[in-house]
Chains A and B, each alone.
Chain A
Amino acid sequence: MSANMIKNAAGRMVPDSINGQPAVPFKGVGKHRPEGRKYAPPIPSCIDYPDDGNKVVKSLKEALELCGLRDGMCISTHHHLRDGDMVSNMIFDLAHDKGIKDLVWLPSASFPVNDPLVSYLIDGTINRIEGSMNGPLGRAVSEGKMKGTAILRSHGGRVQAIQDGEVKIDIAVIACPSADMFGNATATEGPSACGVLGYAKADYMYADRVIVVTDNLVPVPCFPMLIEGNYVDFVVVVDKIGMPEKIVSGTTTITRSPDRLLIAELTAKFCEVTGMLRDGCYMQAGAGGTSLAIGYYMHQILKAKGQACQLGFGGTTKYMVQMLEEGTMKHILDAQAFDLDAVASISRNANHHHYPVFNAYNFHSKGNLTSMMDIMILGATEVDLNYNGNVVTHSDGYLLHGIGGWQNCLHARNVILPVPLFRDRIPVIVDEVTTLVGPGEMIDVIITERGIAINPKRLDLLDAVKGSGLPLKTIEQLKAEADALCGIPKKPRYKDNVVAAIKWVDGTVIDSVRQLDI
């Protein structure tokens, strides 16, 4: 049975059903409201759990069996251990050994460490991934090697889908750097310490069954409880949940590329000139080399003026910690620690707080942190002449990476995309994005090494930069400049079948990705 393709409000063709479930096409920003009551997991009773609180079972295999692992189940994992994660693959190795088929994997993100799972996409152990697809997983999906249709959601969209029942998690497997026998767990201690666990909250609250996997069993109580044992069914102790050197970088470093530094400097200046960077502002930037440099320049500007931003949401790195400790940032709200300095800061600094994405990005939340942000620094693989953005596919049509928090972050007051005008020979500004992930009406500024383009609808910003000496251009001028150097790239060729659906933050389908014709 194949789905019908219909045109959504953004003009993109999307399927009306995905993996046999009806799907709502994107209606426009802020136009869709799922109704009814939130999804709820089955009612547990404490009499079914050991009175002595000891939920430790002898292996992950046993825990999965006790959870009733069977064909077609949905297994969720999270990505705090990033490229050092050893648990996700373990689950599917065990499932494969038991001959289980058609699982749905709901990771909060995937990493190169998960590349071996490609073989389970091909042999049918995994029916589909609902999450992010990087590297070889993305290639396999784009080439039509996965049975089901992938669904890509933002971090907030993942919480939304779990809360409104679009996704039902059968088993959540949560790798935790420290846990006690009751299932309370935390992330600052243990050989695989990753700092915080900002992505697992919806998983443990809404899954039918919850397994905590740790390599550092501590006496009760394990504090601070980032995972509350009252939601946990089983605790498993393994030798190692992760490879520490790949979980957090020893140190994150600012880019040394002159062009990226130039982009970073322009971005910081832009924020200063327009008044977004001011005493008391809220800001968020990523952990890429350019973002770090932007943070560094902003720190210098604030320091020189004796000002401080009120809060920074992260993705935390040593550079944000430096801002906190040198007084240019008053609070860090942290969903994920990127380096060892960030991990250490959580225990050291009272104003460095654990803050799950559950509270920052979720569509079914009574308000969100992201819409309060004054400055939002994001990346993109492509931006088009209508300021639409793409972060999931490469210009050659291959699925490249997940959405992460990108769509959620578009709700900030000022969304700024510092991007190079071209990468190698590949232009970033295109006529029309290969895949629509973020509507142009939400993207305000594109900053490249060759000039700054402001979305014409932001008359206030256009006004604020007058006479600033910043190199302003139209997005058409920027595109023409890149095209003159690079030439126009050929568009990818597709087959008819949809291999992935891209969800908007409210659960509607904003675009679809088709199988490549190669």
Chain B
Amino acid sequence: MSIRIAEAGNEGPKVRSDCKVIIELRDSGGLEINVKSKVKSLYGDDILKQLQELSDYFGLKNALVSIIDQGALPFVIAARFESVVKLLGISEREYLPAFLPQNKYSTRRDIFRFTRLYLPGNTPAMMLNAGLHGSNGIILDLEDSVAPAKKDEARLLIRNVLRCIDLFGAERMVRINQGERGLEDLKYVIPQNVNLVLVPKCESVEYLKQVDASIARCKAPEFKDHPVFLMPIIESALGVEMAFELAKATPNVVALAIGLEDFTADLGTKRTQEGTESLYARYRMVNACKAAGIQPIDSVYSDVDNMDGLRENVASSKALGFEGMGCIHPRQVPVIQECFAPDSDELDKAMKIVNAAIEGEKAGLGVVSLGSKMIDPPVVKRAERTINLAINLNIIDKNWRDNYVS
């Protein structure tokens, strides 16, 4: 016997900007729509109209459609409705809300990935303004933050978020699930111009190759020239041992991240503030990334109220060679950003070197020297990187040399 009633979405006193949609199929009697909404007097008519349109779109003729709404935006209502339609097996059609033109940007291999903000994949309230907090990337998470029973509806929600919510230029990232489900996730999200896919609990080069191939198959024609990069997450002892191979698995791997909660569990130890238990893993991973020419990214810092602890954590992370960190709360973004940014000593030194290099080139000198000291080309290159970083972070002006006094 087929299912006659199903629901999707969330309700409850703490739920905001979300809704629950319940559809009960009937044999006859037409469509009955029941709207219960916190914003009913202002948007009740709009919601009713939207539910009618969605019913028409999916060919729903005889049913009781109910919504319990906590101020959900239309794209959320549409995702919830479609989830119920899929559960009931009414239609295979996708209902795709309009793609915001400002969401059609691409990314580059070498951009900074200091901060990437994790967003639980089935909580619309946290997504609406996520792009305002200035993180380099935004991770819409389908994996650990989504309850097993909610995995399917999160896919549709994230698909709609990628289309309808302005992420203000942050790199558009999705963390897929592990294994087969992860490959299936790609079908929903990749056509929506995803810039980077995080692959959790990564241990296998073969799997990364599968992910890469699936991505190539799933791309929408409109975005076929946009790269979709990979960031495998190392979360096990085996993963650590495999770090270099994973880093080189496909040309689309641009970074490796380490997930210390799962890693320490795998070791059978506990995560500490000092992090001595994961030192080897972190050294090894940084080394593997540098050897492969990609970015090593550190684990998240989970005490969101402890900004001093976070600051220390980023400092030690930077000292180990990491080039970024995950954020689980937007308030962590500026702290991490600031800590990874070059400090004034680094910047002074870099400006001196770059300035000397430019002056040297003008003078037609083959070698760069600072005082009596010769400067090697890799040192100049690193100094240029530091300067570009500072310009990008608005620490110095791009025309800094105009007023530079050496």
Contact = CB atoms under 8 A, between A and B. Distances in A.
Contact of B39 (A258, A485, A489, A518): A489
Interface in A277-317: none
A469 B134 CA distance: 13
A261 interface: yes
A450 B38 contact: no
Contact of B129 (A259, A395, A487): A259
B329 interface: yes
B41 A258 contact: no
B331 A395 contact: no
A258 B70 contact: no
B133 A258 contact: yes
B47 to A, nearest CB: 10
Interface in B289-345: 329-331
Interface string B35-49: 000110111111000
A396 B74 contact: no
B73 A258 contact: no
Contacts of B129: 258-259, 262, 449-450
A426 interface: yes
Contacts of A426: 39, 42, 71
B329 A395 contact: no
Interface centre among A258, A397, A485 (most CB of B within 10 A): A258
A269 to B, nearest CB: 12
A492 interface: yes
A396 B41 contact: yes
A262 B42 contact: no
A425 B69 CA distance: 10
A259 B72 CA distance: 17
A485 B73 contact: yes
Contact of B41 (A423, A424, A449, A490): A490
Interface residues of B, number: 23
Contact of A396 (B17, B42, B128, B329): B42
B336 to A, nearest CB: 14
B270 interface: no
A486 interface: yes
A397 B41 CA distance: 9
B213 interface: no
A165 to B, nearest CB: 40
Contacts of A485: 73, 128
Contacts of B43: 425, 487, 489-490
A150 B331 CA distance: 44
Interface residues of A, number: 21
Interface in A487-505: 487, 489-490, 492
Nearest to B75: A485
B170 to A, nearest CB: 14
B45 A490 contact: yes
B273 interface: no
A381 to B, nearest CB: 13
Given A424-B71, A490-B42, A262 B17 contact: no
B28 interface: no
A17 B13 CA distance: 43
Interface string B373-400: 0000000000000000000001000000
A296 B284 CA distance: 41
B16 interface: yes
Contact of A469 (B41, B70, B330, B394): B394
B72 to A, nearest CB: 7
Interface string A104-144: 00000000000000000000000000000000000000000
Contacts of B70: 424
Interface of B: 16-17, 38-39, 41-46, 70-74, 128-129, 132-133, 329-331, 394
Interface of A: 258-259, 261-262, 395-397, 423-426, 449-450, 469, 485-487, 489-490, 492, 518
Given A259-B129, A423-B71, 7 more contacts: A395-B42, A425-B43, A425-B71, A426-B39, A469-B394, A490-B43, A492-B41
